[in-house]
Structure 1
Amino acid sequence: MATSRNRTGTLIAGALSAVLATAGGVLVSTTAHAAAGCRVSYAVSSQWQGGFGANVTVTNLGDAVNGWTLAWSFGAGQTITQLWNGTVTQSGAQVSVANASYNGSIPSGGSVAFGFNGSWTGTNPAPATFVLNGTACTGEVGGSSSPTAGPSASTSPSASTSPSPSTSPSTGPGCTATGTGGGSGPCPAGYETSSGLPNHTIYRPESLPVQKMPIFVWGEGGCSANGTASLPFLREIASHGFLVLASGAPNGSGSTTAAMMTQSMDWAVAENSRAGSKYYGRLDTSRIAVGGWSCGGLEAYEVSNDARVSTTLIFSSGLLDDNNDYQLRRLTRPIAYFIGGPSDIAYGNAMDDWGKLPSGLPAFMGNLNVGHGGTYTQTNGGEFGRVAVLYLKWRLKGDTTAGAAFVGSNCGLCHTQWTVQQRNLTL
């Protein structure tokens, strides 16, 4: 192996920041006279004023199917606003979800899962009946055909009433959706500063969640000391119940260092233990992720061996010199790369790093053809924001539905606009 490589250094270091729940199966064969039967599990994963998230798992009890559609009727005027791992059509109360291009074939005994966010007013009961490819999902083979979801919950024993966030803190942040903050998550978020952590920007839900917040430490592109350069992206993460600590003051100037990431971790641990702090006992200091874009990714590499770090996220970045490959060899905890495709100036460096990771290290590599600038300044951080939230939910909150986006040959990001590679990943 060559002792040095042609790294793209100057451009990366100078780049600034301008720029569902478990596997579920499907049922019903599309072949005439094939045995058909299914079971559906519908679970509200989080709920807040006016909105909720839900995971749906369909288990195939009959013959294999190739192409599926699941239908049901909402009983209280709920509306789906965003859905993943499928395509949704809604007309009034009637909902129909068809398979995505990558998850239409389901073997007998297999399952498929999808998730969605929705809105509600008044009450949020679970649907009573589900119909897969024209067959009612009764939990048995040979369920009677039904064109619409009916009102009786007795035909869907797995459906359950929506839990309130306070009674289920392990599945949802349990915050109050108040304030003027932003982000698509259940906890509208904003940012603040602290005299105890100078030259940093702190993103948090305006109403602190009941569930302890894991911590995400961020380094900006170009090592820019502007902690609000990627505001939509970082606020989006915080809105899902995370404390985000960005190196650099709001609209700050100058440059950051990797030591500032360590300062962020030190401060969070201290605040969690300090009586009188708003964060006293509210942080999960055993779940800390470090990440950064471009030069900020190099900073994340530098601190990734800190014993407090649970996982590392590298955005459009890669080591600039083979002399720093020791930072790869010392990695022992999961790492994920989110790169801007072959047009990204960091692409070659990132792929070189990928090839040198320790053999047993859990690792994910995703390339989205958006170039080096990413999507950080788009609404809610764009696609990078969406995927970062899923990864952090998986690694820092143990959300295996979110983790399904990254694991397996039919992962949620597989066979999409993302180009995906995986190593040693399990749910």
Structure 2
Amino acid sequence: MNYARFRPRYVLACAASLVLASGAAILTTTAAQAATGCRVNYVVSSAWPGGFGANVTITNLGDTVTSWRLTWSFGAGQTITQLWNGSVSQSGAQVSVANVSYNGTITTGGETQFGFNGAWNGTNPVPTDFALNGTACTGSVGTSAAPPTSGPVVTSAVPTTAGPTTAGPTTAGPTSSAPTSGPTTSRPPACTTPGGGSGPYPAGYETSGSLPNHTIYRPECLPTEKLPVLAWSQGACSANGTAALNFLREIASHGFLVIANGNPNGSGSSTASWLTQSMDWAVAENARQGSKYYGRLDTSKIAVAGFSCGGLEAYEVSNDARITTTVIFSSGLLNDANDYQLRRLTKPIAYFIGGTSDIAYPNAMDDWGKLPSGLPAFMGNLNVGHGGTYDQYNGGEFGRVMVLYLKWRLKGDQNAGRNFVGSNCGLCGTQWQVQQKNLTL
């Protein structure tokens, strides 16, 4: 369909589904600088015929290291084609990834993360022989002279569909994993309710009689830390609150309360006022004694975001004084008469667009050129088209990057912010095409 300036508001109908593969390796190692231990989470975040994406998180369990090199071997001829947040070399099956200038130090209990795209043919098994700074992973803190023949590997089955769309908490996907940045945080030991997402707080969704026409995504067991809030509007301005289930549940699993326009599997269309209702409800519930959210939300940190038509609704409310940041996915204003919505922006904004094949690309780039001078802004283009990666396992690459952005803007995570700031940012030089305005850590 045509998506151009001066055209009527559009209705989006799109679907994307990929067969994904995933695995996680949880290992312990020592560093050459000191007798240390570590945990490595290797997770395949997306896959397509002949290719895949993976995220690797190293958690330091021992003494601080000031530089690191992680090595492993692929077991089925996989090759790395592009890597970010590290420097890679590969010889045959042997892979070596070293730190870059901004992430060499890992303090005790801290972590660092890198990601890559790779090529595969036939099978894509998880590596089992990770070593840090030349010392093999042994499964305990200490030293080891040689890699074991097999490490303690934990894998998880991956659904071959986009995930369930029925109302209620879901169980698809791993129930816990290290977060993409910042110290590892565990959910309370008493929490045994299943949920989804790759974050430390497995998440599901619910509805509330006091907030009609909405779906609320939250950690199944609320953590002790306060949850920042994301108000979300669906593609096509749809009133189906589970239209982006995998994507929104992934965000919630990293310690956010996500309120989506629409009931689970709902029908009809939303309006921008529903986003305001989401913010009103979160503020009220945080202050209401007897609410499960009483004092548990950080209502000083609220993001508003939307995909496609939902992005237009996010623009409409972006001048609300409670909003910390606005995030636009594959969207742009349809009529120059609405450019006043750009001129009134005063808070940071980010765009995540599907590349030149995205029907919203021209409008998004037009908006980018009209942003107020001095406004902190990020533009990321990923060549996936208008459909994005929302239906992929844990929201795919858009899910991964949105978590990082919200950790930075709503939780003050500077390591996450480094993915967006500077000429050597974590997304710079990757499959993302990056533009920046007025960004500082």
Pairwise same-fold verdict (TM > 0.5): yes
1:342–1:148 Cα change, 3 Å = closer
Alignment partner of 1:296 is 2:294: no
Q: 1:115 aligns with which of 105, 113, 116?
A: 113
Secondary structure of the residue aligned to 2:216 is strand
**What is residue 375 of structure 2 aligned with on the other side?**
361
Task: Return the offset for 1:96.
Answer: 7.5
Shift of 1:178: 2.8
Tell me how far 1:410 sits from its aligned partner.
1.5
Distance change (3 Å), C-alpha of 1:41 and 1:417: farther
2:203, 2:137 → 1: CA distance? 39
Residue 64 of structure 1: aligned partner: none
Q: Distance in 1 between matches of 2:13 and 2:400?
A: 21
* 1:98 to 2:107 alignment: no
Q: What is the alpha-carbon root mean square deviation over aligned residues?
A: 3.6
In the aligned structure 2, how far is the partner of 1:110 from the partner of 1:174? 23
Corresponding residue number in structure 2 for 1:13: 10
Call closer, same or farther: CA 1:71–1:229 in 2, change over 3 Å. Answer: closer
Counterpart residue identity of residue 212, structure 1: K
Question: 2:226 aligned with 1:212, yes or no?
Answer: yes
Name the CA distance, whole Å, in 1 between partners of 2:137 and 2:289.
56
Counterparts of 1:49-64 in structure 2 under 5 Å? Answer: 54=58, 59=66
Structure 1: 5+ residue stretches without partners: 20-36, 47-51, 61-67, 73-82, 90-94, 118-128, 135-145, 154-169
Which residue in 2 is equivalent to 1:339? Answer: 353
Alignment CA distance shift 1:215-1:409 (3 Å): same
In 2: Cα distance, 1:314 partner to 1:373 partner: 14
Deviation beyond 2 Å, 4+ runs, structure 1: 16-19, 37-46, 52-60, 68-72, 83-89, 109-114, 146-153, 170-178
Give yes or no for the alignment of 1:175 onto 2:173.
Answer: no
Q: Structure 1 pair 173/45, CA: closer, same or farther in 2 (3 Å)?
A: farther
Residue pair 2:86, 2:114 contacting (<8 A) in 1 also:
no
1:295-322 Cα distance to aligned partner (Å, 9 max, x none): 1000101111101100010000000111
Tell me which residue corresponds to 2:285: 271
Q: Does 1:221 align with 2:212?
A: no
Q: Does 1:373 align with 2:371?
A: no
Residue 49 of structure 1 aligns with which residue?
none
1:74-133 CA-partner distances (Å, limit 9, x unpaired): xxxxxxxxx9624899xxxxx975148xx5xx5xx995784279xxxxxxxxxxx963xx
Distance change >3 Å, CA 110–CA 208, structure 1 → 2? closer
Secondary structure of 1:199's partner? strand
1:224-303 matches, within 5 Å, as: 224-303=238-317
What letter corresponds to residue 175 of structure 1 in structure 2? R
Give 2:173's aligned residue.
none
CA distance in 1, matches of 2:433, 2:427: 8
Identity of aligned residues (%): 66
Residues 148 and 188 from structure 1, CA distance in 2 versus in 1: closer, same or farther, beyond 3 angstroms? Answer: closer
Shift of 1:409: 1.3
3-state SS of the aligned residue for 1:260? helix
Residues 334-356 of structure 1: CA distance to partner in whole angstroms, max 9, x if unpaired?
Answer: 11000000000000000000001
CA separation in 1, counterparts of 2:373 and 2:312? 21
Q: CA deviation at 1:252?
A: 0.6
Kept after mapping to 2: 8 A contact 1:45/1:171: no
Residue 13 of structure 1: how far off its partner (Å): 2.4
1:42-65 Cα shifts (integer Å, max 9, x gaps): 99999xxxxx965579647xxxxx
* Residue in structure 2 matched with residue 413 of structure 1 by the alignment: 427
Amino acid paired to 1:347: Y
The one-letter amino acid of 1:293's match is F
- C-alpha contact 2:35 2:143 (8 A) present in aligned 1: no
TM-score normalized by the length of structure 1: 0.69
- What is aligned with 2:330? 316
Contact 2:6 2:335 in 1 (8 A): no
- CA drift of 1:152 comes to 6.6
User: Any conservation in 2 of the 1:17–1:222 contact (CA below 8 Å)?
Assistant: no
Larger radius of gyration: 1
Q: Judging changes above 3 Å, is the alpha-carbon distance between structure 1 residues 173 and 84 closer, same or farther for their aligned structure 2 residues?
A: farther
- Equivalent position of 1:151 in the other structure: 142
Q: C-alpha distance in 2, partners of 1:415/1:43?
A: 28
C-alpha distance in structure 2 between counterparts of 1:299 and 1:15, whole Å = 14
Whichever residue aligns with residue 98 of structure 1, its letter is V
Q: Is 2:186 the partner of 1:189?
A: no
Cα distance in 2 for partners of 1:179, 1:148 equals 31
Partner Cα separation in structure 1 for residue 336 and residue 35 of structure 2: 51
Counterparts of 2:354 and 2:206, CA distance in 1: 30
Match of 1:69 in 2: 69
Distance in 2, matches of 1:116 and 1:414, equals: 13
Instruction: Answer whether contact 1:225 1:253 (CA < 8 A) is retained.
Output: yes
Do the aligned partners of 2:205 and 2:218 also contact (CA within 8 Å) in 1? yes
CA–CA separation in structure 2 for the residues paired with 1:303 and 1:40: 53
State the distance in 2 between where 1:54 and 1:339 align. Answer: 29
Deviations along 1:236-259, one digit per CA (max 9) or x if unpaired, are 101111000001111111110010
Instruction: Tell me, in whole angstroms, the C-alpha distance in 2 between the residues paired with 1:380 and 1:293.
Output: 16
How many residue pairs get matched? 332
**Counterparts of 1:293 and 1:304 in 2: how far apart (Å)?**
14
8 A Cα contact 2:377 2:436, kept in partner: yes
